Amino acid sequence: MSARTTQPREQHDRDAAFEREALPWLDDVYRFAYSLTRDESDAEDVVQDTFLRAYRSWHTYLPGSDCRRWLFTICRNVFLRSRERVRPTVDLDSADIDAAAVGRSYRDAMERGLDDLMAVLDLGPAIERALASVPEPFRSTLIIVDVEDQSYESAAEILGVPIGTVRSRLFRGRRLMQEQLIAHASDAGLRDAWRGSARLAAR
């Protein structure tokens, strides 16, 4: 068999494997990209670059492994590179959020009754805005674990960090989300309305 015959066959096998294992995750990768970019056009660009890079690097993919996780890793790297000069990220050193201060704010909200208020509000849009406002690297960790329902181990592999770092980022990211949601409830003037309803219900 000549080299000319072998090369097209190898290319065909490569294309077939890529189509079989990678392309079915296109929608998942787009959803992940959109949750990172918050923009349809930017998400499409990230997805296109992700699958282009995945195709070029297909020889590095281990057949039968978690292709979705592999694509998510590429997608996040593409996103971070695309935002290096556009959107500043928060370094871990400078983003060491004062957990005590955030905790105090949350406890204050609980004393004002906002914890129960959160349980009865339709916070879908507020959650999306809060997530979009969380800085990197916390937002990516929240999206991978809380939105995409990946395990801590998977998140650690996608992000290229230890599991302990994943847990730390989740803690801080979730606290930041709480801050945003509490602010949303207060700014919307819903605290007084909730208290009024509670008083009526108690009669």
Q: Please state the domain extents for the chain.
A: 3-83, 99-202
**Which residue do the tokens 């670059």 mark?**
49
Radius of gyration of the chain (CA): 22
Determine the pLDDT at residue 51.
95
Res. 203: pLDDT tops 50: no
Check pLDDT > 90 for residue 21.
yes
Res 70: pLDDT: 93
Q: Is the pLDDT of residue 103 over 50?
A: no
Mean pLDDT score across all residues of the chain: 75
- Candidates 24, 144, 142; CA nearest to 72 is 144
Q: What is the pLDDT of residue 89?
A: 47
Domain 99-202 class? mainly alpha
**Confidence (pLDDT) at 24:** 93
Q: Is the pLDDT of residue 199 over 70?
A: no
What pLDDT score was predicted for residue 148? 85
Taking only the tens place, the pLDDT of each residue in 174-198 is 888 888 777 766 665 555 444 444 4
Domain spanning 3-83 has what CATH number? 1.10.1740.10
Amino acid 83: pLDDT: 76
Give the dihedral of Cα atoms 163, 167, 173, 175; nearest 10 deg.
180
How confident is the model over 104-121, as a mean pLDDT? 47
pLDDT of residue 67: 93
How high is the pLDDT of residue 180?
79
Strand ranges (DSSP E) for 106-152?
none
At 35-89, the pLDDT tens digits run 888 888 889 999 999 999 999 999 999 888 899 999 999 998 898 888 775 544 4
- State the greatest distance between any 2 C-alpha atoms of the chain, in Å, as a whole number: 90
